[in-house]
Amino acid sequence: MAVPAWDDAIKVVPDWIGEILSPTTRRHDLVVKKPFYARIGVPFLWLVDLEARATVALRLEGGRWLEVGTFADETDARIEPFEQVVFDLTSWWARVE
């Protein structure tokens, strides 16, 4: 099977991206990828920080990230853009241990 060239990369901007921060990728995700996502117009970004056991939800407004919430131990979190879905974040952190 042929490996696709970078020219064949997906060219549609996603409506939402979730990044899982880790010690080895944290800097790259925050310094390189986060501004890139803003530049290309991704409307929503979640940064899931496993060490802090927290999720920061961001919404793009006027080309800048607006923090819409930080979530940690909620058992009934409703996070943009998925407010219709209830997330039990405590179950996320239990899997990290």
pLDDT in tens, 46-64: 999 988 999 999 999 999 9
Percent of the chain predicted with pLDDT > 90: 67
Give the DSSP H or E segment for 16: strand 16-21
Supply the pLDDT for residue 85: 94
Count of helix runs (H) and strand runs (E) in the chain: 3, 4
Domains in the chain: ranges and CATH: 14-94 (3.90.1570.10)
For the entire predicted model, the pTM comes to 0.85
Q: What is the pLDDT along the chain (97 residues), one digit of tens a residue?
A: 555 555 566 678 999 999 999 889 899 999 999 999 999 999 999 999 988 999 999 999 999 999 999 999 888 999 999 999 999 998 888 866 5
Supply the pLDDT for residue 3: 53
Supply the pLDDT for residue 4: 52
Q: Residue 47 forms beta bridges with which residues?
A: 19, 56
Question: What is the C-alpha separation between 26 and 21, in angstroms, rounded?
Answer: 5
